[in-house]
Structure 1
Amino acid sequence: MARPPPDPQFILRGVGAAVNTLHFSCDRPGPPLLFSGSAKGAVHIWNLDTRRSENVLDGHGGSSVIWVDTLNRETVLSQGRDMRVCLWRLGEGRGEVSDCVYTGSVGFCQCCVLSRGPGGGGSSLLAYASEQMEEVKVMELPSKVPVSSLKPDKKLGMVMCLKMWQPDSGEGPLLVAGYEDGSLVLWDVSLGRPLSSLSVHPEPVMCLTFDPSRQRGVSGSAENIIRSWALDGQLNLQQQETVELLNPGISQLCVRGDGKILASAGWDHQVRVFGWKKLKPLAVLKCHSDMVLSVAFSDHSDPAKRLMAAGSKDQRISFWSIYNQT
């Protein structure tokens, strides 16, 4: 007999707005942290030992924050719908904007960042949708030197989501982008050219992620289907399994660091958990009263302390301990 799904370990309240995005930072000096970006333009920094917000970064003029990430232990990136990416310097309990990147994009495409130095100490690449919303620009940080402009030859509509990684081959970074027409394009970032494409959804690709260790990705849209796809030896995108959900609409997809678990954030207020290898449904997690907008796995070095967090339009963040024994 199947075990019932777990209850959340705990819930954080106090954001005061929809929780659009989440990012863990656990393997660092001091307490494990969670960064959350809200629809009111604030980035909350949560101390997971005390389960309280220890700082609030407010640099987007009240415009919704749609993406948060970290470059290193002291530098946080936040993307707002004010068409800016802010770089924050953290230290001694303070948070100051040290620099900004103007994207010009009024869309909802989240940026992505790729660290190119050990421990995040070297340069990084930032990819973002530009003012021409079908174009992806890539720049180096902190220098802000342009690296490439990725623009499809044919009309695919605006870019909706991005994922960038460094292949084991040592060649230039690769980036996969999901577009408004439901297609994916794989790009060589260094050469600025497309390598392959694939039509995966009849509607805009709302979210995607990619697991470089398996050369496999997954994407979702407004439909009730999660589709997986993979790269072959010639870097061609190929469709693989699909899984049908009871209700439509997926906000975000996230693969756990060990490559065993996939989680989806659903418009139906639920988080779904799957085995990543075969997309086998494992659990449906229910605790939110509105759309789940974001889901993230912690990067804690202690497996016993690794959690999954989900942020919702109901202004709450739920934390779950799931399948740590697998």
Structure 2
Amino acid sequence: MAAPPDPIYSFRGNQSQVHCLNFLLKAGSEKLISGTRTGHVFVWDLPTKSLSDSFLTGDGTCISVLVPDKQDYFLTHNRSDCVKKWTDWKCTLEFKTKCLQYCAAKLLQAPASRAQLVAFPGGEERSIQVASFEQEERVVSQMNYPGSAGNIMSLSDAGAGRVLALFEAGDLLLWDLRNPGKPQGAFRIDLGADDTAPSAAMCLAFSAPKSLGVVGSSDNTLHPFALDAGGFRTLPSTKITNEGTSHLCFRPDQKILAAACWDSKVRLFSARSIDSKTVFRPLAVLPTLVEDKSVSCVTFSDKPVESFGGKTILAAAGDACSILLWDIYN
């Protein structure tokens, strides 16, 4: 395993634990947005390396900040059951989700169009709702799931107009937005739990270009899988030193996977093909500033950041309230 690179910068002053991060990169304006446990959003200006704005997005933890491809607005999702659209830092649309789960909203590519949709857990009906926020808020699809699946933990765009959902027992359900009445596919990740200490699925990352996904859990194992025309396939698992993975994220080129871990570390893995199977090999372990604070979120910039030498940047944050930036093997 390679020696870990040092962070290239750190932002401090979030004032509470950071639960989500995203880059907002436009011509002449490069920002990093962090959402916190108190529901506040902090906007960090990357060229000046300073805080440019902060405001309250709503009651409850801000669990997701979403930036569409056009980058002319962004969305926040609060655990208090609200998704909001922000244009020029003002709330212009609001949607009540009626759901208090910690599963964060995710962007989806609409089938047969370039429009982007937003998927999030629904309310009493145990559903996943998909809405458009382009012009006005409207629900365009709804997928119901059985109560036996447990709590929904994570959502992902599976490509080709499909949405993938992870549930706490390790169940994966796949829907096609063009036929949302029943799942197109179902699969259970073997978490290897025993009856006395059951493991729980925590997070999901899926690479639509590679048809490759990874599930993180409360144990010390990453669980990769493939999803192709033949359905789901289990891939060789990868062990980590300590238990607990909060969040997973692929780099835009799909070559590196970053894992936010409970033991205050960010772990990096490369995807290698061995005997026609994808295997995740450890690349590096990135230490954070506070050794006993969990890392909650990791994200890569979706394009080069000119403020940091025109490179793709990795950002990570969590209970330590600070944000660290890395230049990872560019």
Q: Give yes or no for contact 1:147–1:190 (8 Å, CA) kept in 2.
A: no
- The CA distance in 1 between the partners of 2:241 and 2:106, in whole Å, is 30
Find the counterpart in structure 1 of residue 294 from structure 2: 291
Q: Give yes or no for contact 2:110–2:116 (8 Å, CA) kept in 1.
A: yes
Residues 1:312 and 2:318 are matched in the alignment: yes
- The CA distance in 2 between the partners of 1:59 and 1:232, in whole Å, is 39
Residues 1:148 and 2:141 are matched in the alignment: yes
Find the counterpart in structure 2 of residue 76 from structure 1: 74
Length-normalised TM-score, structure 1 = 0.89
CA RMSD after TM alignment = 2.0
CA change 1:204–1:144 in 2 (3 A) is farther
Q: Give yes or no for contact 2:224–2:234 (8 Å, CA) kept in 1.
A: yes
- The CA distance in 1 between the partners of 2:328 and 2:116, in whole Å, is 32
Q: Which of 211, 236, 253 is the equivalent residue of 1:215?
A: 211
SS of residue in 2 equivalent to 1:191 = coil
CA drift at 1:19: 0.7
- The CA distance in 1 between the partners of 2:30 and 2:3, in whole Å, is 29
Count of aligned pairs between the two proteins: 308
Q: Give yes or no for contact 1:161–1:205 (8 Å, CA) kept in 2.
A: no
SS of residue in 2 equivalent to 1:164 = strand
- The CA distance in 2 between the partners of 1:209 and 1:265, in whole Å, is 12
- The CA distance in 2 between the partners of 1:147 and 1:3, in whole Å, is 46
- The CA distance in 1 between the partners of 2:233 and 2:8, in whole Å, is 38
Letter in 2 for 1:180: E
Find the counterpart in structure 2 of residue 65 from structure 1: 62
Q: Name segments (4+ residues, structure 1) moved above 4 Å.
A: none
SS of residue in 1 equivalent to 2:104 = coil
Find the counterpart in structure 2 of residue 138 from structure 1: 130
Find the counterpart in structure 2 of residue 259 from structure 1: 254
Taking every aligned residue pair, what percent have the same amino acid on both sides?
29
Q: Give yes or no for contact 1:184–1:197 (8 Å, CA) kept in 2.
A: yes
CA change 1:174–1:270 in 2 (3 A) is same
CA drift at 1:153: 4.5
SS of residue in 2 equivalent to 1:276 = strand
SS of residue in 2 equivalent to 1:155 = helix
Residues 1:280 and 2:281 are matched in the alignment: yes
CA drift at 1:54: 1.0
CA drift at 1:46: 1.1
Length-normalised TM-score, structure 2 = 0.88
CA drift at 1:288: 3.3
- The CA distance in 2 between the partners of 1:73 and 1:127, in whole Å, is 18
Residues 1:238 and 2:227 are matched in the alignment: no
Q: Which of 102, 110, 129 is the equivalent residue of 1:108?
A: 102
Find the counterpart in structure 1 of residue 163 from structure 2: 175
CA drift at 1:300: 2.6
- The CA distance in 2 between the partners of 1:130 and 1:288, in whole Å, is 37
Letter in 2 for 1:100: E
- Structure 1 range deviating more: 128-137 or 65-74: 128-137
Letter in 2 for 1:283: A
Q: Give yes or no for contact 2:166–2:204 (8 Å, CA) kept in 1.
A: yes
Find the counterpart in structure 1 of residue 196 from structure 2: none
